[in-house]
Amino acid sequence: MDFTLSEEQQDLQGLAKQILGDRMALTHLRELDGSEDWFDRETWAEFAKANLLGVALPEDVGGLGYGFLELALILVEQGRTVAPMPLLHTLVSVALPIAEFGTKEQREELRGVISGDVILTSAFNELGTPAGEPQTVAARAGDGWKLTGEKVNVPQAHIAAGILVPARVGDDIGLFLVAPNADGVTLERQETMNHEPQFVVRLDGVAVSDAARLGEIADGRDNLHWVLDRTMTGICAISAGACQEALRITAEYTTTRKQFDRAIGTFQAVGQRMADSYIDTEAINLTMLQAATHLAEGQASPTEVATAKYWAAEGGSRVVHAALHVHGGISIDLDYPIHRYFLWVKQNEFTLGAATPQLRDLGRMIAASA
C-alpha cells in the first residue's frame, strides 16, 4: 500500500503543524496543566478560523468535505505537540457519526462544531465490560427514552454540549445524544495520567426524546463499531505523533549529553535502544495509516484497526519508556518536555483496550478466517 500523501493532505497537515507549533510552548502547556478545563480555547478558535475543525465534515454544513485520513493527519500533529484540545472526542467520536448517521436536523448542529462554538464528547467506557457491549440501558418511555447506567472515563464532559451514549435496547444497541446538564445526569471528576479532565457520568432515568437518537436501533451495533474503529485509530494517530516527537527530542539529547567526554549517542547500548524506538515508531505510524486509509475508503477494517492499536499500545510503551531511560534524571523535571509524551502515550495505551485485548481480538479474527 502506498502511503504517500497528496499535496492537499500535506498542506492540511502542515497548516495544523504551523498553528500548533507556534502556540504550544512549554510555558503555555504548564499554564494549561493548572487550569480547570485543560483546554486551549484560543488555539481551538484558530483551528476553527482555518476550518480545520471541519476538515472531515460535509461541505453542505460548512465543512471541507475531506475524509478520515486527513483528520488522522491533524491528530498526528496534536500528538506531536501534546496540545490539550478535544479534537478526538468532538470530531472523531461524535461529529463524524452525526455526519454519517444523523438526521438533517442533527447534521445542521455540526455548524456549531465547525465554528468552534460546540464541544462534544463520548461515553464508551463502563467498568468490567467492553466498549462494544454497553450495559447502560435505554427503555422506551412514551415517545422518548429513559437511560439508566454509569459510564467512566468520559473526557471533557463538563464543557461538552452533548455526550454520545451507547445503550442497550433489548438485544440491540442505541446511540443517544445526552446533555450533561439534563435531569438525572451527575458528573464526578476523575484524576487521569495526562491531566485531561475525565468524569464518571451517572444516568438515573435520564429522559431524552426520539430526536436525540442517532441512527436506527436495528443498526446500532454496527454503528457503534463504526465509531469505535475510528476512535481507536484516532488514538493511534495521536500516539504516532507523540512517539515521533519523543524520539526526536531523545535523539537530539543523545548528541548533546556527554559521559566520559563522549556523546551518549555514540554508546552502543544507547544506539541500539534508539534504533529499536525508531522501528517501533515507524510501525505505529504505518499501521495507523493503513487503518485510517481503509476506514477513509469505507472498508470494514477490524484487523487493521486492532493491529494499529496493538502497535500504538505495545510499541508506544516501549518508545516512551526508552525516552525516559535515555534521558535519566532530567526526565522527571517538569520544566523539560519529555515526561508529557510518556503520560500521553501511556494513557492512550489503555484507552479502549491495551495490547493484550487487541491480540486476543486478532487471534479470534484469524481463527475465524482459517
Q: Which of 217, 245, 276 is the last residue of a domain?
A: 217
Q: Compute the distance between CA of residue 319 and CA of residue 255 in angstroms, rounded to an integer.
A: 18
What confidence tier does 1 reach under pLDDT thresholds 50, 70, 90? low
233 shares a domain with 210: no
Answer whether residue 2 is part of any domain: no
pLDDT, residue 318, reads: 98
Residue 115 cell numbers, joined: 465554528
306 shares a domain with 256: yes
Q: Which of 196, 217, 238 is the last residue of a domain?
A: 217
Q: Which of 71, 101, 117 is the last residue of a domain?
A: 117
pLDDT, residue 140, reads: 96
Answer whether residue 1 is part of any domain: no
Q: Are 234 and 288 in contact (CB under 8 A)?
A: no
229 shares a domain with 143: no
What confidence tier does 193 reach under pLDDT thresholds 50, 70, 90? confident
232 shares a domain with 362: yes
Answer whether residue 333 is part of any domain: yes
* Three-class secondary structure of residue 106 per DSSP: helix
318 shares a domain with 255: yes
Domain at 162, CATH number? 2.40.110.10
101 shares a domain with 51: yes
pLDDT, residue 7, reads: 94
348 shares a domain with 304: yes
Stretch (H or E) spanning 10: helix 7-23
pLDDT, residue 370, reads: 78
Q: Compute the distance between CA of residue 113 and CA of residue 27 in angstroms, rounded to an integer.
A: 28
Angle at 122 between CA 118 and CA 127, to 5 degrees: 155
Residue 151 Cα distances to 45, 112, 129, 137, angstroms: 29, 26, 11, 11
164 shares a domain with 100: no
Residue 49 cell numbers, joined: 478560523
Write the pLDDT tens digit of every residue in 215-273. 999 999 999 999 999 999 999 999 999 999 999 999 999 999 989 989 999 999 999 99
Write the pLDDT tens digit of every residue in 27-60. 999 999 989 999 999 999 999 999 999 999 999 9
211 shares a domain with 252: no
Long-range contacts of 194-197 (CB under 8 A, 24+ apart): 194/82, 194/340, 194/343, 194/344, 194/346, 194/347, 195/33, 195/38, 195/84, 195/343, 196/38, 196/84, 196/155, 196/156, 196/347, 197/36, 197/37, 197/38, 197/155, 197/156, 197/157, 197/158
**Host domain of residue 227:** 221-369
Write the pLDDT tens digit of every residue in 113-126. 999 999 999 999 99
Structurally, the chain folds into a number of domains equal to 3
Answer whether residue 168 is part of any domain: yes
